[in-house]
Structure 1
Amino acid sequence: MSGTVSDLARATSTCGWVVFGIATVNTAGNRVTWKRHHVRTCAYRTPKRFSFTNHRVYQVELKVCAERRAAEPSMQCTAGNPAWKTLYTSPH
Structure 2
Amino acid sequence: MTAHLGIDLAWGQNGRTGLAALDASGRLVASTSVHTDDEIAAFVATHTPGELVTEIDAPLIVPNATGRRGYEALVSRRVRPVRRGAYPSNRSRPLFDPPRA
**Fold match, TM over 0.5?**
no
More RCO (CA 8 Å, sep 6+): 1
Bigger strand share: 1
**Higher Cα Rg, which structure:** 2
Bigger helix share: 2
Instruction: Calculate the TM-score normalised by the size of structure 1.
Output: 0.29
